[in-house]
């Protein structure tokens, strides 16, 4: 259902994170509560170095919604 959105998100995050697209796509899922949006990313699954909270903030600021 969300495959096109997951692909679009992964395309941008490959550039921002340096993680492979397959890893990013696998880390995108439906959050447990509706308060967290339609899709969420489990940042630790990306295996990138840094504070996950800070990484999420940085990536959210750089992400271009289209």
CA nearest to 24, candidates 5, 8, 46:
46
pLDDT tens digit string along 3-60?
899 999 999 999 999 999 999 999 999 999 989 889 999 999 999 999 999 999 999 9
Q: What's residue 3's pLDDT?
A: 87
Q: What's residue 65's pLDDT?
A: 87
Which domains does the chain show, CATH number per domain?
3-62 (3.30.1360.70)
Q: What is the pTM of this model?
A: 0.82
- Residue 28: enclosing H or E segment and its boundaries? strand 28-29
Q: What's residue 1's pLDDT?
A: 63
Long-range contacts of 18-21 (CB under 8 A, 24+ apart): 18/48, 19/46, 19/47, 19/48
């Amino acid at each position: 259902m969300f495959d096109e959105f997951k692909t679009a998100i992964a395309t941008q995050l490959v550039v921002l994170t340096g993680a492979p697209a397959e890893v990013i796509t696998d880390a995108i899922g439906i959050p447990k509560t509706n308060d967290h949006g339609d899709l969420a990313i489990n940042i630790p699954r990306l295996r990138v170095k840094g504070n996950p909270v800070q990484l999420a903030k940085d990536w959210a600021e750089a992400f271009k919604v289209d």
